[in-house]
Amino acid sequence: MYVTGPSAFMTPAVSFKQVSRHFGSVKAVDAVDLDIAEGEFFAMLGPSGSGKTTCLRLIAGFEQPTSGRIEIFGSRAEGVPPYRRNVNTVFQDYALFPHLNVLDNVSYGLMVKGIGKAERHREAEAALELVKLPGYGARRPGQLSGGQRQRVALARALVNRPKVLLLDEPLGALDLKLRENMQEELKSLQKSLGITFVFVTHDQGEALSMANRIAVFNNGRIMQVGSPEDIYQRPDTRFVADFVGSSNVLPPDFVARHGGARRWASLRPEAVRIAEGAAGALAATVVSRSYLGGATRLGLDVEGQRINALLPAGHALPGEGQSVQIGFAPGDLHLMDDAQ
Amino acid sequence: MRSDHPSAPLGLKIAAGAGLLFLHVPLLLIFVYAFTTEEKSYQWPPPGLTTQWFAVTWNRPDVWQALGLSVQVAAISTLIAIVLGTLCAAAISSTKFFGRETISLLVILPIALPGIITGIALRSAFSLAEIPFSMWTIILGHATFCVVVVYNNAVARFRRISGSLVEASMDLGADGFQTFRHVILPNIGTALVAGGMLAFALSFDEVIVTTFTAGQQQTLPIWMLEELVRPRQRPVTNVVAMIVVLVTLLPIFAAYYLTRDGDQIAGSGK
Amino acid sequence: MSTAAAVRGTPTGSAILPDRGGLSGALSDIFWRRPKLLLFLMLLPPVLWLGIVYLGSLFALLLQSFFSIDEFSGLINRQFTFKTYGELLLPSNLDIIVRTVVMAALVTIASAIVAFPIAYYAARYARGRWKALFYIGIMLPLWSSYLVKIYAWKLILAKEGILTWFFGKLHLLWLIDAWLSLPIVGGNSLSVSFTGTFIVFVYVWLPFMILPVQASLERVPTNLVEASSDLGATPGQTFRNVLFPLALPGIVAGSIFTFSLTLGDYIIPQIIGTSRLFIGQAVYAHQGTAGNIPLAAAFTVVPIVVMGFYLWGAKRMGAFDAL
């Protein structure tokens, strides 16, 4: 769908041009260029302090850029307060109003726009139905579970029909099972509504499974923008390779010895196989072995280089301290551009 | 594992109980003395009990006048304190700015320094500026030290409101004024009422500063002080003392119930 | 999905909404763009009030302490001088200062001793309903009328009052008489002795000591106490080596109140006490009947200076975290 990125002639939903946000000497966001297409499910991925949340707040209007230009559907957004942007946010801590019941929480945005009580309550009910919480209107936020609060926060944002919906670590506070359910629901909701979703996460699995495109942040800059496959299979930099899926990052010397150019390269752990007696196999020693359920991770020492291998269940596996021979397809060795 | 409800050593129980008795018995005595038939001394046990002094007190215009002035002063001082205290608390909790510590110190100073200093300072300032004593000079003093009570309550509540609530409101399309009306005010409302009640109780009871800032006017505590120094009709004083206890206790209970979940009544604010 | 359609209706409308217009809309935009302006406007009224009314008055007072009074005409001589401060060192005035500071120190120590078990019980053992009861039980006397509390003690300490009656019933009247015959602390009756003054001071300021001590004890994890006794400490050793050091910031915080309030009070010693003056009474007398405002002002500087040192010391002990 949007895997190839926004087409050149469509107005992007959100566009950053050389946007910086500095707090004193800290460059939270540093000269970022970014286009998010309409209808896209876009993820901003990065460790904490990488600038992804600041970018989200720049779109919402809670922060103003120190320099650069932000456009939302072609309109200049710098200097426009949050309450005049047709953009809504689902907050990390949900930020439900504790003094209002669920229905009044959801209809808050319509209320401040001056829409009559009957109409706004009708729309709020519809929004609650959309997030599968029909009939919860009379409850107080304090009476709801974490997952339910999150749905209310979602309904409260969606009822305003935002042009862009921002989600700040929306699943961070939920437990694993609930998180997986919500991932699927958010995805199908986004598909059926067609609203542009921009969500911030530090969880690479979440970003890979939900987003159409991902921007990987580090130190206030975007390291790489691309489809989940791009980001995972073809990381541009050592940082991306390391952060997304804990790839083996191999130094130029090692790569040169084993069939590549003298460049840094990444090698996915699942691309490594046990290959006893195969041509070109490498001698390795098992340093550690961790059982992960569906797979087992082996820590290997190959010529002094640490390499992780992820082997599917059902294999007979060598124990710690054993010597094995390993191999990988030359095509799996992904060369990277720079030394970052 | 020990049990969750360890029982206290006997010595501690006795010491704590005795301490609480020490705090409360004198106040209970006031209630008994309001009914005594003895007029000339503080005799114990009371020779007899009567309710006639309530009628006598009821018919004393000086008591009514003092009560009226006290209520007026307390009400106006409380209003001023609510406005000033809330503004200050909102400013202090919204952002970190240079001089923040200084301003919170400035608010606390009027109760941190002995009341007599506030009193005599105001009095000498009034005389330097040639301001004649009136109800308003009393209010000027009272509002100054009442600000801190409202401030303490409001700051505690502002701290509990997560900053993202304000952002959420703006995000949903509410401008600054709408956010104040629909989000901030409902959330700090009870804290303001509680702070206001404590400020009222504080002002209603104040005597040290008031002796310096009042001219001929008598608030109820000034009236009581006169009676304590030069007793005229002891049983009337007994009755007024009991009424004062009751009038100040009601706001304390109310304030406690308004703020009990979470923030403490700013007891150190007195 | 029909519900989705209800919420959908998207691509209408612009991403940036127009200015709402009107005064409140315009003001709101201005405040949002310039938060410093809003901050300034919010701080202006309280800072003006406290700055002019309070600090202005304090400054005027301080200024007057550097004036002096003409001994013959009784008029105030508005010339900068340290003469008035010199008068503070006269034996009679020095007496007053020493008496007040000693009383404040004794009251503080006694309050701490009486307050500790109450605070400890409330913090460690009281739960649920009892906890609320303790809280109210401390708040009520704290907020009850100051004058009524003093009045109650006038009733109690009077010769014909309940205390005499109580000791009479126990045949212990000789104990009171023996105590009253002692120098300094004694007197004609309890209500005109330093003992009486001392008791009332402790009574009136006690809640100010209990609250911060309780707050600091509540931060002591219970397992710390258990660990100590587990390691073989006697209850006395646990108190000395674990509880007391941890409660100390709370005690210091409470002592700020008991000390400062005693230093400045002039009503309690006036109603229950001897004819020998305390600082507060001296201030009151000098500014009132004597009309010696400079000396009164100089006297008020004493508690300010004492409290300044006290607060400085308290801050270094971390007492402000327990407030």
Using the beta-carbon criterion (under 8 Å), do A194 and C16 form an inter-chain contact?
no
Chains that touch A (3 or more CB pairs under 8 A): B, C
Rounded to 10 degrees, the C-alpha dihedral A117/A121/A124/A129 comes to -170
C266 touches chain B (CB under 8 A): yes
Do residues A52 and A162 both lie within one domain?
yes
In a domain? residue A8: no
Using the beta-carbon criterion (under 8 Å), do C6 and A123 form an inter-chain contact?
yes
Q: Residue A74 carries which DSSP code? A: T
B49: its two tokens: 């009990």
In a domain? residue B55: no
pLDDT by residue (tens digit) across C195-240?
A: 999 999 999 999 989 988 888 888 777 777 777 777 877 777 877 8
In a domain? residue B166: yes
C167-203 burial by CB neighbour count: b if 16+ within 10 A, else e? eeeeeeeeebeeebeeeeebbebbbbbbbbbbbbbbb
Per-residue confidence (pLDDT) for residue B124, from 0 to 100: 84
In a domain? residue B217: yes
Kindly report the average pLDDT of chain B as a whole number.
84
B186 touches chain A (CB under 8 A): yes
Do residues A217 and A263 both lie within one domain?
no
Å between C43 CA and nearest CA of chain A? 23
Do residues A108 and A202 both lie within one domain?
yes
ipTM of model over 0.90: no
The 3-state secondary structure of B111-174 reads HHCCHHHHHHHHHHHHHHCCCCCCHHHHHHHHHHHHHHHHHHHHHHHHHHCCHHHHHHHHHCCC
Do residues A196 and A263 both lie within one domain?
no
Q: How confident is the model at residue B1 (pLDDT cuts 50, 70, 90)?
A: very low
Q: Are C272 and C133 in contact (CB under 8 A)?
A: no
Q: How confident is the model at residue C103 (pLDDT cuts 50, 70, 90)?
A: very high
Residue that is last in its domain, among A238, A267, A286:
A238
Question: Domain limits at B111?
Answer: 60-269
Instruction: Provide the domain count of chain B.
Output: 1
CATH number at residue A234: 3.40.50.300
CATH number at residue B161: 1.10.3720.10
Do residues A78 and A220 both lie within one domain?
yes
In chain A, which residues have their Cβ closer than 8 Å to the Cβ of C13? 86, 161, 163
For C117, which of B16, B80, B144 is closest by C-beta distance?
B16
Residue of A nearest to B180 (CA): A112
In chain A, which residues have their Cβ closer than 8 Å to the Cβ of B175? 81, 83, 112
In a domain? residue A278: yes
What's the whole-number mean pLDDT along residues B53-66? Answer: 88
In chain C, which residues have their Cβ closer than 8 Å to the Cβ of A163? 10, 13, 15
Question: Domain limits at A324?
Answer: 246-335
Surface of C (8-27) touching B: CB under 8 A: 17, 20, 24-25, 27
Using the beta-carbon criterion (under 8 Å), do B270 and C139 form an inter-chain contact?
no
pLDDT by residue (tens digit) across A224-236?
A: 999 999 898 888 8
Do residues A207 and A305 both lie within one domain?
no
Query: Whole-angstrom Cα distance, residue C154 to residue C32?
Result: 59
C221 touches chain B (CB under 8 A): no
Do residues A210 and A129 both lie within one domain?
yes
Q: Give residue C85's identity as a one-letter amino acid code.
A: Y
For C7, which of A13, A76, A158 is closest by C-beta distance?
A158
pLDDT by residue (tens digit) across C179-189?
A: 888 888 888 88
Q: Give residue C93's identity as a one-letter amino acid code.
A: N
**Is residue B156's pLDDT more than 80?**
yes
A188 touches chain C (CB under 8 A): no
Q: Which of A112, A159, A164, A168 to mutate to test the interface with B (most CBs of B within 10 A)?
A: A112
Per-residue confidence (pLDDT) for residue B265, from 0 to 100: 38
Do residues A290 and A325 both lie within one domain?
yes
Per-residue confidence (pLDDT) for residue A339, from 0 to 100: 57
In a domain? residue B124: yes
Q: What is the DSSP string of C284-309?
A: HHHHTTS--HHHHHHHHHHHHHHHHH
Per-residue confidence (pLDDT) for residue B3, from 0 to 100: 42
Do residues A233 and A251 both lie within one domain?
no
Residue that is last in its domain, among A212, A238, A264:
A238
* Helix residue ranges per DSSP H, B161-266: 163-171, 176-179, 185-205, 208-213, 220-229, 234-259
For A99, which of B167, B168, B187 is closest by C-beta distance?
B187
In a domain? residue A84: yes
In CATH terms, the fold of domain C96-322 is MetI-like fold (1.10.3720)
Do residues A214 and A289 both lie within one domain?
no
> What percentage of chain C has pLDDT greater than the value 70?
93
Q: What is the DSSP string of A227-294?
A: -HHHHHHS-SSHHHHHHTT-PEEE-HHHHHHTTS-SS-EEE-GGG-EE-TT-TT-EEEEEEEEEE-SS
Using the beta-carbon criterion (under 8 Å), do A112 and B178 form an inter-chain contact?
yes
In a domain? residue B23: no
Q: How confident is the model at residue A22 (pLDDT cuts 50, 70, 90)?
A: very high
Q: How confident is the model at residue B45 (pLDDT cuts 50, 70, 90)?
A: confident
Q: Which of B172, B182, B187, B258 to mutate to test the interface with A (most CBs of A within 10 A)?
A: B172
Please report, for residues B15, B21, B69, B178, C207, the alpha-carbon distance to residue B25 in angstroms, rounded to integers and kept in the order given: 15, 6, 30, 51, 14
In a domain? residue A127: yes
Å between A260 CA and nearest CA of chain C? 49
In chain B, which residues have their Cβ closer than 8 Å to the Cβ of A109? 172-173
The single residue listed with the structure tokens 């010397």 is: A253
C12: its two tokens: 């209408």
What's the whole-number mean pLDDT along residues A298-307? Answer: 89
A87 touches chain B (CB under 8 A): yes
Mean pLDDT check: name the lowest of A50-54, B261-265, C300-304.
B261-265
Per-residue confidence (pLDDT) for residue C115, from 0 to 100: 93
Region of residue B38 (left: phi > 0; alpha: psi -120 to 50; beta: else): beta
Pairing of strands A265-267, A273-274: unpaired
For A127, which of C7, C18, C28 is closest by C-beta distance?
C7
Q: Give residue A295's identity as a one-letter amino acid code.
A: A
Do residues A201 and A218 both lie within one domain?
yes
Q: Are B102 and C249 in contact (CB under 8 A)?
A: no
Do residues A159 and A265 both lie within one domain?
no
In chain C, which residues have their Cβ closer than 8 Å to the Cβ of B211? 284
In a domain? residue B44: no
Using the beta-carbon criterion (under 8 Å), do B42 and C142 form an inter-chain contact?
no
Cβ-Cβ contacts under 8 Å for B245 (sequence gap 6 or more): B27, B30, B31, C144, C145, C148
In a domain? residue A58: yes
What's the whole-number mean pLDDT along residues B15-35? Answer: 89
Per-residue confidence (pLDDT) for residue C9, from 0 to 100: 44
Using the beta-carbon criterion (under 8 Å), do C283 and B120 form an inter-chain contact?
yes
For B12, which of C117, C132, C296 is closest by C-beta distance?
C117
In a domain? residue B28: no
Å between A74 CA and nearest CA of chain C? 9
In a domain? residue A5: no
Q: How confident is the model at residue C276 (pLDDT cuts 50, 70, 90)?
A: confident
CATH number at residue A316: 2.40.50.140
B185 touches chain A (CB under 8 A): no
In a domain? residue B50: no
> For residue A223, which phi and psi values (nearest 5 degrees)?
-85, -40
In a domain? residue A2: no
In chain B, which residues have their Cβ closer than 8 Å to the Cβ of C156? 26, 29
Å between B161 CA and nearest CA of chain A? 9
A108 touches chain B (CB under 8 A): yes
**Is residue A55's pLDDT more than 90?**
yes
Which has the higher per-residue pLDDT, C243 or A323? A323
